Amino acid sequence: MNLNLDVDQKAIEGGLNVVRPDICQIVSLMRVLHHYTCASIEEKTIDPLMEFLYGHLNLTLQKIDDSQRACRMGCSFCCNNFVTVTTPEVLFALKSVKDQNSELVRSNTASMNQTTAGKTPAERGTMVTPCPLLENGACSIYINRPLVCRTAVSDDSALCERVYFYGSREDIPATYNHFGMKGIYGLALAGALKKAGLAANYYEYNSALDAALSANEAEFNWLSGENVFSKIAHDPEGEMFADQWNQKIFDEAFS
């Protein structure tokens, strides 16, 4: 094993510090994710990168006190929300879709995308727009669900119902630690993709799913350098490295 990689993996062994996030750990995580990104490019499968990413995030989330958490399998109020994701998250989600009735999923996704296409987050807030990957109120790709779905938690499911089903303007009582981990892992993933020469843009989930399901060999082509989402708009607020602090972390990781 590369000595530097060994040092970085030791630095993040067992998950990240959730009480006081360590810049050195974020730098190490970004470099380790870059290693797995390169492995995915070489093997032409997104699995090495995403299996490590989600597995490591789970280790970190296990350190957070969940005693007040109201979220559970089958509680899907937030699954009607505007969601943005990166390309590898979408491609990995499709791993589960392929094991299901793909034609039904394709039809549901295309139909929902027609409903939500071009809608702003504010406009979506006045609509009930269930994720096309829900089945009987539960996530059908739960094991492979995106980062935001893993970290968007609440301690009041009744409040979530009012917000997502009835348009209440109340604030979701999410925990700071979960929200913080979403940002840290998102930054580390974006840096790893950027260093590997892959697009680190964020896309609205329905449009990205629809595009990926409609494409031929989306996973292979993206890992070969093709921007498989070139025809759909990316989220300008997802430009991670427009932020000077994020760029500084990237430079420290790879300078």
What is the reported pLDDT for 12?
97
pLDDT at 68 over 80: no
- The CA distance from 207 to 105, in Å, is 13
Between 1 and 74, the more confident residue is: 74
Residue percentage of the chain with pLDDT more than 90: 57
- The answer, yes or no, to whether residue 3 has pLDDT greater than 80, is no
**Which residues, at least 6 apart from 16, have a Cβ–Cβ distance to it below 8 Å?**
22, 25, 26, 29, 60, 181, 184
Return d(Cα 130, Cα 140) in angstroms, integer.
Answer: 13
Model pLDDT for residues 152-211, shown as the tens digit of each residue = 888 888 899 999 888 888 888 766 688 889 999 999 999 999 999 998 999 999 999 999
Question: Whose structure tokens read 């094993």?
Answer: 1
Instruction: Answer for the pair 97, 213: CB distance below 8 angstroms, yes or no.
Output: yes
Q: At 1, is the pLDDT very low, low, confident or very high (cuts 50, 70, 90)?
A: very low
pLDDT of 238 over the 90 cut:
no
Cα 191 to chain centroid distance, Å, stands at: 14
CB 97 within 8 A of CB 115: no
Q: What pLDDT does 111 receive?
A: 94
Q: Using pLDDT thresholds of 50, 70 and 90, give the confidence band for residue 252.
A: very high
Q: Residue 240 and residue 139: Cα distance in Å, rounded?
A: 28
- The token pair at 233 is 């708009």
Q: What is the pLDDT of residue 174?
A: 67
Torsion of CA 89, 141, 69, 174, to 10 degrees: 30
Distances (CA, A) of 114 to 107, 110, 111, 207: 11, 6, 5, 9
- Tell me the one-letter amino acid at 228: V
The strand ranges marked E within the chain are 84-86, 134-135, 138-139, 202-204
pLDDT in tens, 88-116: 999 999 888 765 557 888 888 999 999 99
Residue type, 90: V
CB burial of 83-115 (b: ≥16 within 10 Å; e: otherwise) equals bbbbbbbbbbbbbbbeeeeeeebbebbeebbee
Each residue's pLDDT tens digit, 113-164: 999 998 988 888 888 999 999 988 889 898 899 999 998 888 888 899 999 8
What local confidence, expressed as pLDDT, does residue 95 receive?
84
Give dist(CA 110, CA 112) in Å, integer.
6
Q: CA-based angle 57:62:64, to the nearest 5?
A: 105
CB atoms within 10 A of CB 62: 11
**Rounded mean pLDDT of the chain?**
90
